[in-house]
Amino acid sequence: MFDGPVAPELDPAERRARLRLARGRRIGPVTFREALAHFGSARAACANLAVPSDGAIATEEAALARAGGRFLVLGDPRYPAALASLPDAPPILSAIGDLSLLGRRALAIVGAREASLAGRRFTAGLAASLGQAGFIVASGLARGIDAAAHESALPTGTIAVLAGGIDQIYPPQNAALHEAIAARGLLLAEAPFGTPPVARAFPRRNRIVSGLSAGVVVVEAAARSGSLITAQYAAEQGREVFVMPGSPMDPRHAGSNTLIRDGAILVRDANDIIGVFGLPQSSPQAAEKPAQKSGDTPTAKVLHALGAEPTAVDELVRRCQVSAATVAEVLLALELEGRLERHRGNRVSLM
Amino acid sequence: MFDGPVAPELDPAERRARLRLARGRRIGPVTFREALAHFGSARAACANLAVPSDGAIATEEAALARAGGRFLVLGDPRYPAALASLPDAPPILSAIGDLSLLGRRALAIVGAREASLAGRRFTAGLAASLGQAGFIVASGLARGIDAAAHESALPTGTIAVLAGGIDQIYPPQNAALHEAIAARGLLLAEAPFGTPPVARAFPRRNRIVSGLSAGVVVVEAAARSGSLITAQYAAEQGREVFVMPGSPMDPRHAGSNTLIRDGAILVRDANDIIGVFGLPQSSPQAAEKPAQKSGDTPTAKVLHALGAEPTAVDELVRRCQVSAATVAEVLLALELEGRLERHRGNRVSLM
């Protein structure tokens, strides 16, 4: 879906008319398309409908430009092709950041705001592996899983779709991440500049997250989670739905497990996703599958005894039958390699 | 597969000949069938092959009778119909207990010997619900998941298939359960009376567990787990394979998640199994889905912050923004209700 012919640049007058039409009161994405079809062009539609003035659009465009952004108009060659194929594709997107990311295949990772540490770690490992495999990671810049996905994919490319205007920092905890994505990734927003995010905008945002992407990965979706809406959009849009499984006794996985039960693809690690798209499989990330050396060196023994769950250091010493000093040395080496996380209570886990 | 015509009683001389043929050296289940087909009857086969004497069979049958048991011979009307349909059905089974259980639909539950507490609790809830829905629960009387399944299904009906002779108590921890199943359920064994269980008998036992059953439920199968062999038999035998999902970061679920990934049915609770067989669905068991109160009481906050994964108590205090004393009080109440498990390092999890 990314290999179609590149559209020619829109005529500037038609482009401006599309901006006016899209910002028309009560003109949603579907009405926008119908108006284009009915009148033959946005220019003709604007001549016949009550739409904002050229000046109002220029004011918004100037504010957007001052924030370092620009409009992507449906029909523009820069408008994301995967999204353009949707019947309710947003007529306009505000964009701040690296537009070249839109030319690469994206995968969405979405999930719980109240995510567990384990879920965020799984997400971070998955996003890093997908990034290394060449995918852009898209998400909704929410707390929890979304934030973990964006953060981990910043070095390889990430796209955040906002529910409010592109200048609206929400949630406040993600202010630094919002700024980092503007600088190193790409922010997109359907709502006009300056619009605060409102509740009904979130499901609409979700359709863009999935619509931009070849597939959606769901992590820790409880029953009635917003991530299930994204998965629903993805399925309707013909995108693959991937899901991290979890204990049926933990309500954080209730929605996720139902998705798998109903046919979504279970994800054990990034290779389960990469394999679906026929890309070469990467070696698993440390955070997904802790590396385990075979052999009987102290390092091998400690690695064997360590896992994603925090383990007390004295328990490690006992299990490995290696001196406490040697275990401490091995742990320090692992920590310097960035493979070890320390927890309160003198506990450690592999990252 | 339980509704076929009932076979007439075997002729006593033919029955005795089948026992002799089946106990012949190097005569396995497939050779037994081939010999029957080739010679036309076991009596004719015994006249042409080196098989144990009538006296040897009478000795085994007497020992079995003293233990309260009897033989089920392939072709007998009491021989389990689901099993008889297999090309490698055991020619003889020793049986002690309630043979009427063989007339009801069975589901197998199998899994890790080194099971987690959560896995055993899930199994217990599942076995109870399946029993209440009218299913017999079959398993292999191993430690861990098998034992939890048998124990929970004792009141409604359970069948244990042993790897050694029917008198061989293995593992020793399950001696009381072995006795309870003999008294209230049904023990089955393919190996001759008095045969100690040997390693190669365990996979052969697994084919009987699945072969007796309309489906197999797998709980906590690690990579290369024996439960995967049972699942493989089940698939080859045309039985449904059901699997409890788990965290991809916990190696105890590696085999389980791969089964789901490869097409097995994900199980959230008993209704996911009952539904497949078209039976009325029961309400979920408490042990499968911990109840969670909504609201802002300290109990609700602590319950919200708790999960199946162990969490440090001081982390709970921080997250819930409730005093340490209040959290301790709530945890104690949950513990007394049997809903809380305590772990080393002052960590707790919901059961």
Containing A333, the helix (H) or strand (E) segment is helix A324-336
pLDDT at B293 over 70: no
What's the whole-number mean pLDDT along residues B126-149?
98
For chain B, the residue count is 351
- Please write the tens of the pLDDT for every residue from B230-273: 999 999 999 999 999 999 999 999 999 999 999 999 999 999 99
Q: Please report the pLDDT score of residue B346 as a whole number.
A: 75
What's the whole-number mean pLDDT along residues A28-56?
93
What's the whole-number mean pLDDT along residues A47-70?
96
pLDDT at B107 over 80: yes
The pLDDT > 70 percentage for chain B reads 90
Backbone φ and ψ of B236, nearest 5°: -65, -30
Exposed/middle/buried for residue B169 (C-beta within 10 Å: 0-12, 13-18, 19+):
middle
Mean pLDDT of chain A: 89
Partners of residue A269 in chain B, C-beta under 8 Å: 248
Say whether the peptide bond before residue B251 is cis (omega within 30 degrees of 0).
no
Q: Are A111 and A146 in contact (CB under 8 A)?
A: yes
Q: Are A101 and A184 in contact (CB under 8 A)?
A: no
Q: Please report the pLDDT score of residue B7 as a whole number.
A: 62
Q: Please report the pLDDT score of residue A322 as a whole number.
A: 76
Name the 3-class secondary structure at A241. strand
Chain-centre distance of CA B10, in angstroms? 30
- CA of B101 vs chain A CAs: smallest distance (Å): 30
What's the whole-number mean pLDDT along residues A41-70?
96
The pLDDT > 90 percentage for chain B reads 73
Q: Please report the pLDDT score of residue A288 as a whole number.
A: 43
Instruction: Give which of B247, B294, B314, B318 to mutate to test A binding, by max A Cβ within 10 Å.
Output: B247
Measured distance CA(A298)–CA(B283) in Å, rounded? 51
> Do A345 and B265 lie within an 8 Å CB cutoff?
no
**Closest by Cα among B218, B220, B244 to B233:** B218
Other C-beta atoms closer than 10 Å to the C-beta of A284 total: 16
What's the whole-number mean pLDDT along residues B224-235?
94
Which residue among B122, B254, B268 sits closest to A257, beta carbon to beta carbon?
B268
Partners of residue A285 in chain B, C-beta under 8 Å: none
> Do B247 and A252 lie within an 8 Å CB cutoff?
no
What's the whole-number mean pLDDT along residues B75-102?
94
Look up the ipTM and state it: 0.72
Residue whose pair of structure tokens reads 């000046």 in the numeric block:
A55
Q: Please report the pLDDT score of residue B3 as a whole number.
A: 43
Q: Please report the pLDDT score of residue A172 as a whole number.
A: 95
Which residue among A252, A257, A345 sits closest to B266, beta carbon to beta carbon?
A257
Contacts of B255 (CB under 8 A, 6+ apart): B218, B221, B222, B223, B224, B225, B227, B228
Residue A152 Ramachandran class (φ > 0 left, ψ -120 to 50 alpha, else beta): alpha
Partners of residue A244 in chain B, C-beta under 8 Å: 248
> Do A245 and B268 lie within an 8 Å CB cutoff?
no
Which residue among A122, A245, A252 sits closest to B246, beta carbon to beta carbon?
A245
Measured distance CA(A299)–CA(A328) in Å, rounded? 11
Q: Are A230 and B287 in contact (CB under 8 A)?
A: no
Interface of A with B (CB under 8 A): 116, 118, 121-122, 244-254, 257-258, 260-261, 265-269, 272, 288, 307-310, 312, 315, 343-345, 347
What's the whole-number mean pLDDT along residues A58-65?
98
Which of the four pLDDT bands, split at 50, 70 and 90, describes residue B341? confident
What's the whole-number mean pLDDT along residues A315-336?
73
- Please write the tens of the pLDDT for every residue from A125-156: 999 999 999 999 999 999 999 999 999 999 99
Which of the four pLDDT bands, split at 50, 70 and 90, describes residue B336? low
Q: Please report the pLDDT score of residue A299 as a whole number.
A: 82
Rg (CA), chain A: 23
What's the whole-number mean pLDDT along residues A117-130?
97
Tokens at A200, concatenated: 């009904």
Measured distance CA(B128)–CA(B117) in Å, rounded? 17
Which residue among A116, A261, A312 sits closest to B266, beta carbon to beta carbon?
A261
| More confident: B345 or A26 | A26
> Do B266 and A252 lie within an 8 Å CB cutoff?
no
The nearest alpha carbon in chain B to A255 belongs to: B268
Measured distance CA(A215)–CA(A276) in Å, rounded? 10
Which residue among B253, B261, B308 sits closest to A249, beta carbon to beta carbon?
B308
pLDDT at A5 over 90: no
The pLDDT > 90 percentage for chain A reads 73
Which of the four pLDDT bands, split at 50, 70 and 90, describes residue A306? confident
> Do B248 and A122 lie within an 8 Å CB cutoff?
yes
Sheet with B92-97, edge to edge strand ranges: B69-73, B92-97, B186-189, B158-162, B136-139, B106-111, B215-219, B240-243, B265-266
Partners of residue A310 in chain B, C-beta under 8 Å: 345
Q: Please report the pLDDT score of residue A106 as a whole number.
A: 97
Q: Please report the pLDDT score of residue A128 as a whole number.
A: 98
Q: Which long-range contacts (CB under 8 A, 24 or more apart) does A310-316 make?
A: A310/A341, A310/A343, A310/A345, A310/A347, A310/A348, A310/A349, A310/B345, A311/A347, A311/A348, A311/A349, A312/A345, A312/A346, A312/A347, A312/B344, A312/B345, A313/A346, A313/A347, A313/A348, A314/A346, A315/B344, A316/A348
The nearest alpha carbon in chain B to A114 belongs to: B305
Rounding to the nearest 10 degrees, give the CA dihedral for residues A323, A329, A331, A337.
-160
pLDDT at B282 over 60: no
- Please write the tens of the pLDDT for every residue from A267-282: 999 999 999 987 555 5
Instruction: Lowest mean pLDDT of A329-333, B121-125, B132-136, name the range.
Output: A329-333
Q: Please report the pLDDT score of residue A335 as a whole number.
A: 67
Say whether the peptide bond before residue A280 is cis (omega within 30 degrees of 0).
no
Q: Please report the pLDDT score of residue A293 as a whole number.
A: 40
pLDDT at A181 over 80: yes
What's the whole-number mean pLDDT along residues A43-57?
95
Name the 3-class secondary structure at A231. helix
Contacts of A22 (CB under 8 A, 6+ apart): A32, A73, A74, A90, A91, A92
Partners of residue B245 in chain A, C-beta under 8 Å: 245-248, 253, 257, 260, 266
Rounding to the nearest 10 degrees, give the CA dihedral for residues B206, B211, B216, B220.
0
- This prediction's pTM: 0.75
Backbone φ and ψ of A194, nearest 5°: 85, -5
Which residue among B121, B257, B308 sits closest to A268, beta carbon to beta carbon?
B257
Which residue among A121, A248, A307 sits closest to B288, beta carbon to beta carbon?
A248
- CA of A313 vs chain B CAs: smallest distance (Å): 11
Which of the four pLDDT bands, split at 50, 70 and 90, describes residue B335? low
Which of the four pLDDT bands, split at 50, 70 and 90, describes residue A289? very low
> Do A118 and B257 lie within an 8 Å CB cutoff?
no
Q: Please report the pLDDT score of residue A291 as a whole number.
A: 39
Q: Please report the pLDDT score of residue B323 as a whole number.
A: 72
Which of the four pLDDT bands, split at 50, 70 and 90, describes residue A6? low
Partners of residue B265 in chain A, C-beta under 8 Å: 261
Q: Are B110 and B218 in contact (CB under 8 A)?
A: yes
**Closest by Cα among B245, B240, B239, B291 to B268:** B245
Which residue among B269, B314, B346 sits closest to A248, beta carbon to beta carbon?
B269
Partners of residue A265 in chain B, C-beta under 8 Å: 261
The nearest alpha carbon in chain A to B219 belongs to: A247
Measured distance CA(A71)–CA(B78) in Å, rounded? 77
Tokens at A264, concatenated: 């979504």
